[in-house]
Structure 1
């Protein structure tokens, strides 16, 4: 059966969607080393190769999807199961006993009286740990009669790093060392307060009438290969189990699970519009936001910022970061089965445009940065572009362009994209585009 769309095959023949198996360099120093291929990293569009891109509208049995009912009832479940089993891992379905929340602090006059600030602790069991501390800002203009939409995302530096507010405590968990932000011996310090505030323009978001909810991703699973002993995974182990099975979740799955627990809390608040939650993430957390959005339909907008390989960028394009680099440098992010596709993308039965398509008809925004070649901006654009046929089943318009737009130009309707001038980061410029996208799709 031909699982590739005529459009994809045509574009491939033109070179527009050139995607590749890896070029291998052989070492000739000894028989032992000669047999071991070495990966060649590519950042030249002329050498991305020619691996065909799977067609999201062709089912495993060759059936062609022509209606939204077919997509929802047959093809989407097929693809979702493949992403579970072969990449991100199954999220446990069992509900934890003792899951509860506690408000640690509240300030109803935050941001010069414009917002209410809360620090809320989510306990996952009857024990005190592990838990997730969620920092929430809601506009004081919001009410039960006029609830606010909320941007929901995890942060890298801890809640104290997204704000200068001295009332937010410095967390005591594991952090990646960073001298610039005052993290030493894998511990955050007072010196890191406000270090990531530029990535979280909370005052500007409040001014636009939206709320923000964020939490430190390491509360859910520390971002290092610890054998899955210090995050939430052990809460779900069966008797005698010491690590997830090959098709069970890795760290990205755990982080995505935590985003849904944040949504659990937010939808209980009368001043929050439970139909207007946008899940957002940068870099590895952009990969996480896409997987969270694919699983949890309460996120009515999904935003991926510079998510690259394993996020919005096509895996079958040999450009920038690869499946092998993901699995080598970050073996804990994905499930065990994903290791099969290191330097073997040709065998991968899915690609990232199909992950984006899993969110249909809910709007998805993908953003790149011009200097972030490791994340493959064109591959990220194509991830959104090739999801368009699925959105068309629902009568939704996509990007509206056939080629990547000029830098700093935002395009799209239910699918959005821009390529910001600059480096791998998330800045006020990006947030402004996301808020505009929210206004377009949620209404003012």
Structure 2
């Protein structure tokens, strides 16, 4: 295993070295657009001459978003998730899997999130660093893992997916793992012993003196001073901190592992980056076409490639891997779970429009906001059509979409799906339209029940069901909802999510080394 890893590392280094020797003239030159230029290019491809502008989140601005429920539902009837395109009612699981689900996937790919190209490159994973650490009181193994996309077809762009896996060592594995979008970092890097630290300091002082001879007099003036010191060791006898532990520590304490995957290492979060990253690599540095994937789909693809690696790691129970994200990464997490059936569960935090909130709802964030130059890169180019004011195909709105977010949630069925929000008073802004997500979750429940799973335990009539008060637990089924009393985060729901997921996954922690 070590030999194989070493060879892969050498291959990555060789690839990077060869890149410097690539003759760029042999390949199509990379297009370098600003975000506005790329946005204009997509409008031109679609023939759109005028888009409706987005709305302001500041309620004092003249163009502020709508927060009047009387105006929120210009087209209150949702597409029926259980009626096929030819009008046939879906009454069996077989009909869902063989006909209706493929129809919905096709519609979401074409009009909302974009298609993953057939020639998307293979990703090769290498464990770069393995470290034994302590997170709080829990001993762990932490691995930095790099996934390199094959760029032989266009070596001018490199994509190296960065993620860190952390699993407890005081639990008999393999263990469930929650993959989370974020910035990977070792949680508590192991430190050299005092003897090793002394050698490091001695060498470091010698290097400094060689670089600057004046340092010799300074060190002689302070002979006991050590430039590099050890961080304080964990205090296992200290009382636990007040309040909830960090989400990662809660996972480890429950016998779970976690992965942090860097979305920026997959695809940049801006329109200018669409000719770079994995989207740019596949397109050989050229602008997108209207059906090409956006950043949400690219981040979801990257998570699926991370799951490819986790399936090979003996420390991980690959049948019990979940995906988590908040805000734009909540959108990406829901897209990942909907399209990639290997994800056993999802924790979808404050995802708003483009995530769990209904597109056709006119409340807070709107379709027009998602098609403006600040957020359009999340979506397929075709999504711009739904805020077109003047175009060859006329005027369109979110009401013209053939699918909506209740059907995206339904694509996760019957797997575990936890929709999480906070409250506006604490910063989970009304902009997100929490009610729009609740209505979508209610409507999606019919598919969960068809497939033998439990939904929220109420009717699936989204026209009459009322959103429950915050802190109401709706956790008795595979489809779950909870609105905590915090802000724009899902952290307060972790202490509910973990036991809920553990129960439905039928995971039993087994202590031991």
TM-score by length of 1: 0.79
1:416 match: secondary structure = strand
Contact 1:199/1:426, CA 8 A, preserved across alignment: no
Q: State yes or no: 1:433 paired with 2:477.
A: no
Q: State yes or no: 1:65 paired with 2:90.
A: yes
Bigger shift: residues 415-424 or 102-111: 102-111
| Partner of residue 214, structure 1 | 260
Change in CA separation of 1:94 and 1:56 when aligned onto 2, cut-off 3 Å: same
Q: State yes or no: 1:393 paired with 2:450.
A: yes
| Partner of residue 142, structure 2 | 117
User: Which string of whole-angstrom CA distances, capped at 9 and with x for unpartnered residues, describes residues 361-420 of structure 1?
Assistant: 112110111112111111111111101111111121100134322212220311000111
Contact 1:142/1:271, CA 8 A, preserved across alignment: no
1:303 match: secondary structure = strand
Contact 2:267/2:273, CA 8 A, preserved across alignment: no
User: Which string of whole-angstrom CA distances, capped at 9 and with x for unpartnered residues, describes residues 17-76 of structure 1?
Assistant: xxxxxxxxxxxxxxxxxx978866211223213412111011111111111111111111
Change in CA separation of 1:243 and 1:200 when aligned onto 2, cut-off 3 Å: farther
The Cα of 1:200 is off from its aligned counterpart by 5.9
Aligned match for 1:133, one of 149, 157, 162:
162
| Partner of residue 73, structure 2 | 49
| Partner of residue 424, structure 1 | 488
The Cα of 1:227 is off from its aligned counterpart by 5.1
Q: State yes or no: 1:279 paired with 2:336.
A: no
The CA distance in 2 between the partners of 1:129 and 1:38, in whole Å, is 34
The CA distance in 1 between the partners of 2:353 and 2:502, in whole Å, is 29
Give the unaligned 5+ runs of structure 1.
1-34, 168-197
The Cα of 1:113 is off from its aligned counterpart by 5.2
Q: State yes or no: 1:224 paired with 2:248.
A: no
Aligned match for 1:340, one of 385, 391, 400:
385
User: Which string of whole-angstrom CA distances, capped at 9 and with x for unpartnered residues, describes residues 200-256 of structure 1?
Assistant: 622221001111001221111111111512211122126xx7122211101111111
Structure whose residues are more often helix by fraction: 2
Contact 1:142/1:272, CA 8 A, preserved across alignment: no
The CA distance in 2 between the partners of 1:325 and 1:292, in whole Å, is 22
The Cα of 1:276 is off from its aligned counterpart by 0.2
Give the paired residue count: 372
Q: What value does the CA root-mean-square deviation take over the aligned residues? A: 2.4
2:438 match: secondary structure = helix
Contact 2:53/2:368, CA 8 A, preserved across alignment: no
Bigger shift: residues 99-108 or 125-134: 125-134
Contact 1:227/1:243, CA 8 A, preserved across alignment: no
The Cα of 1:433 is off from its aligned counterpart by 2.1
Larger radius of gyration: 2
The CA distance in 2 between the partners of 1:298 and 1:233, in whole Å, is 23
| Partner of residue 266, structure 1 | 310
Contact 2:275/2:283, CA 8 A, preserved across alignment: no
The CA distance in 1 between the partners of 2:52 and 2:272, in whole Å, is 27
Q: Which has the higher contact order (CA 8 A, sep 6+)?
A: 2
Contact 1:364/1:415, CA 8 A, preserved across alignment: yes
The CA distance in 2 between the partners of 1:95 and 1:397, in whole Å, is 36
User: Which string of whole-angstrom CA distances, capped at 9 and with x for unpartnered residues, describes residues 120-153 of structure 1?
Assistant: 111112679320111111111344xx41110012
1:404 match: secondary structure = coil
| Partner of residue 442, structure 1 | 505
TM-score by length of 2: 0.68
